[in-house]
Each structure stands twice: as structure tokens, then as C-alpha cells.
Structure 1
Amino acid sequence: MRSYDLTPFYRSTVGFDRFFSLLDQAASDGSPGYPPYNIERTGETTYRISVAVSGFSQGELSIVAKENTLTIKGEKSANENGSTAEVLYRGIAARAFERAFQLADFVQVKNASLENGLLHVDLVREIPEAKKPRSIPIATTSTVAPQVVDGSAEKAAA
């Protein structure tokens, strides 16, 4: 059961349909709910993925962007802080995880930061100048007789 709805993203974004469709598919095919995450639109072409990674240090997390896939991995050390205390109840999850996000074309990872137990990954969509739509001016011409480029049309008529 999903606890979020991506429908508002479909309405308000143009060109990111594939991005949100793939995120929607990734969540609906039985992927685990750990760790929880948010996807936010922070600007016209900027997005932020926030992953709740409380208990993980910066050295225990890794972020890899390869082709159109962003992978976030977390792996706890075997013996944290050298503690020998017996844990009676473990309510804070400290298991390893791997989250993969499919990114749309031309979406790049801008930066990542870890603050207050949240890993923030900032994304930006930068379309190359060659791929951007360009305006073509329409020239107006007067309606005159068609011009003959060479004399072959006159010779053929004769």
C-alpha cells in the first residue's frame, strides 16, 4: 500500500513524466519501505530527494549516480562504538539498505548533504542547448510569379 500520491507531480511538470512514472513503478513493485524518503520539487528545474537515515554516519553511506540511475546505500559497521552492552529492545533500525531511483534524461545530481538524520540529494535538470526547442522565424514573401532558377523550364516548354 502506497502512502503518497505522485498525481500532483504529473500535472505540474512537463518533461518529467518518465521520471515520476519510473519512481511510481519502483515504489509499487514491492520495494521495501525502509528507509522512508520524500521527493520534492524545489524549483522550476530542481528537485530534492530526502532519505531518513538516522543512525548512519557519513562514512556508512554511499551515493552512486550511473547513467540514469541514482543508488543510495547504507551499511552499518559491525560493532558500533565498541559497545558491549546487551540490547534488550532494538527499535531503531540499523539494517543495511539500498535505494535505487531512475532519473529522467538530463537530470544530474547537483550535491548531497547529511543533516539531522536526513540525507538530502539535490537534482537539477539541465537540457543541453542543442536539445532545447528553438523558435523559427517565419518569413513573409509577396505572391509573385515563381522564379526560374535556370533556363531548363523555358527550354522544355518550347
Structure 2
Amino acid sequence: MRHFDLSPLYRSTVGFDKLFSMLDTASGVEGSASSYPPYNIERLAENSYRITMAVAGFTEEDLSIEVKENALTVIGEKASEAEGEKDYLHRGIAARAFERRFQLADYMRVDSASMEHGLLHVDLTRELPEAKKPRQIEIKGSGSSKTLEGTTH
């Protein structure tokens, strides 16, 4: 049987976690790979998420966050330092430019972004429109009325 590695999709999408969990369970796929800059995606509540990126060495002015259609893009570019300004004996803190894209599920909204201790936090919320939320449908008939639980699509 073929195994498909869905981890690249799982790491770059937010709000599709239930779908990917089902696919991972069905296919038995596990594992992850890292890339620069490292990041976490966590679920804070049922419809609330946080992306945390390790951006040591960057300031708020070096970072930009853009949401366009269903894509969240975080770009980091350091202001160029003058040549010969610093004489490094070892340079282990990466300060290279990056662009990280996250594909967002429908109805995801970016609430806020903050930076603390070299970590960039981007908070997101899934807001389903009223027409997409589960609701109860009343069944009318002769005699007594009953209700049927259902969802709209």
C-alpha cells in the first residue's frame, strides 16, 4: 500500500487540522521536518489557533505580515549592516531573509500579532457564518411537533 507524506501540507495550513488528523490516521503517516525559521502551530480552543515563529535577531520593523485571500505570509528581512561593522568569530544566529506562507482554511481571521522574547505570535480565529453553523430544524406535522438536529451546508 502506498503511503503519502502529508506533513508538508499539515505544517503550512491552519484550520484544516480535523481533515489532516483523519487523513493521518487513515494512512498511518507520522513525522515532521523543520525549516527556517522554526515555528509551532497550536490550537488554543476549538476555533482559536496560534502560530509561533522563532525570529531571534529580528525586530518588529524587520518583519511584515500579510493576509491575502486564504494565505498568511510572514516576511523577515534584516536591514543591511555595513560591511566591517562587526567582526564575528562565530555566527550561529541566522539572520537571513525568509518568507513563510501558511494556507488558511475558509473563514479564518487573523486577530493579532505580537513579539515577545524573540518569538512572533500570530493569533487566528475561525468564524463560521450563521448559515454554516449547526441549527435545529422544527418538524411540523399533525399532532405534536418534533425537532430534528441538523447542519446546513
* TM-score, L = length of structure 1: 0.68
Q: Structure 1 residues 14 and 96, CA, compared in 2 at 3 Å: closer, same or farther? A: closer
Aligned with 2:61 (options 59, 62, 68)? 59
Alignment partners' CA distance in 1, 2:72 and 2:17: 19
CA distance in 2, matches of 1:129, 1:55: 43
- Structure 2 Cα separation of the partners of residues 76 and 15 of structure 1: 33
Q: Are the equivalent residues in 2 in contact too, given 1:70–1:101 (CA < 8 A)?
A: yes
**Would you tell me which structure has more helix in proportion to its own residues?**
1
TM-score in terms of structure 2 length: 0.70
Identity %: 53
Number of equivalenced pairs: 124
Gaps of 5+ in 2: 24-32, 144-153
The AA in structure 1 aligned to 2:137 is I
2:109 maps to what in 1? 108
Larger gyration radius, structure 1 or structure 2: 1
Structure 1 unmatched ranges of 5 or more:
7-12, 22-30, 143-158
* Closer/same/farther in 2, CA of residues 141 and 110 from structure 1, 3 Å limit: same
- Which digits, 9 at most, give the CA deviation of each residue in 1:18-44, with x for residues without a partner? 7x98xxxxxxxxx97000000000012
Q: CA RMSD in A?
A: 3.2
Q: Counterpart in 1 of 2:93?
A: 92
Contact 1:70 1:100 in 2 (8 A): yes
- Flag the structure with higher strand content: 2
1:129 corresponding residue in structure 2: 130
Q: Which runs of 4+ in 1 moved over 4 A?
A: 1-4, 13-16
In the TM superposition, what is the alpha-carbon distance from 1:139 to its structure 2 partner?
Answer: 1.7
